[in-house]
Structure 1
């Protein structure tokens, strides 16, 4: 997830999370991540149990870059709260409910993840709670315990690539990172960093 700013088409805030939503923060709009067409990224091997480890409630700390892909000095906004992951459809789908807040406002977001058995990949789609709209998904899966998801989007009217990464430093800790690329994936700028620590299953 990630948090872009001042643009209705911008995405920001990750676990991730595109336009996730900062309630009461009119200058910022959350970004979920990415659209479909990612021909340059081969579908990774995967399985419907890939997210089983995440089911439960987590304590989340989130850092969001206020103005991604801009000439403005880096300004990181900080939030803390909870992330709750619930299984659906025999764990072929799950939802993430993110509720965090900080000095700059709050983020209330929903992430819907669906497993595609034919393609052996997951799609991650974010919902802007403020307007109730689904955003384009990012696609990918897990290799050796690390998740990589890619997609296409726009920021400020310009096409960008979106990358979303998931890693697990320990069984009860998870890291989520979102980055944008304005040059087709040659260079990346991270704009969303979230660390979750398990509170209960």
Structure 2
């Protein structure tokens, strides 16, 4: 699932990327998943996402360019698997369309000391990690920011997660080349749950 920021620097060349996530949380023996301490610090913010999702993705073919907008469409699945007694998870994205295929992993790690998440995407094609975005959830919306490069140009990245009930979510990635004054959305993914919530 993207991410997707969901997949920085993959857009121009349509690389294979992924979402794998892990949350570094405290010892589960000292606090239950529903205890106020756990809920307050945000380490379970992605717990709702565990399961299988049908994913529809739109990708801007040439972001931050002067060319006319061309959106590429993909469809497939995102599978979110729990790890370490659900204190971490891995998201596996597999979508395809007329323009090709996108596959990848996204790692999400919770930083207890900062009370924030880092989201890091794995480029399956070259085995490299993209720079992380950082942030958290407020009023049901996840908001994450980071720095990256598009070609040789430094950019800022914004990744938003809108949870729309237990069985639907939208993920949106945008780039900025002017320090965050203006943003151009380049990735939109809509996930709908397949089956029941684990």
SS in 2 for 1:53: helix
Distance 1:15 1:171, change over 3 A: same
Paired residues of 2:17 and 2:124 also in contact (CA < 8 A): no
Unaligned runs of 5+ in 1: 2-12, 34-44
Separation (CA, whole Å) in 2 of partners of 1:158 and 1:167: 29
From the CA coordinates, give the structure whose radius of gyration is larger: 2
Match of 1:63 among 58, 62, 81: 58
Separation (CA, whole Å) in 1 of partners of 2:194 and 2:15: 28
Structure 1 vs Structure 2 CA RMSD: 2.3
SS in 1 for 2:181: coil
Distance 1:54 1:199, change over 3 A: same
Separation (CA, whole Å) in 1 of partners of 2:107 and 2:101: 20
Unaligned runs of 5+ in 2: 20-39
| 1:132 shift after superposition | 1.4
SS in 1 for 2:103: strand
Separation (CA, whole Å) in 1 of partners of 2:176 and 2:79: 29
- What is the TM-score of this pair, normalised by structure 1? 0.80
Tell me which residue corresponds to 1:130.
125
Separation (CA, whole Å) in 2 of partners of 1:77 and 1:63: 6
Distance 1:161 1:21, change over 3 A: closer
Per-residue CA deviation, residues 32-69 of structure 1 (Å, 9 max, x unaligned), is 89xxxxxxxxxxx8411100110000000000000000
- In the alignment of these two chains, the number of paired residues is 176
Paired residues of 1:79 and 1:106 also in contact (CA < 8 A): yes
Q: Which has the higher strand share?
A: 1
1:74 aligns with 2:60: no
| 1:87 shift after superposition | 1.9
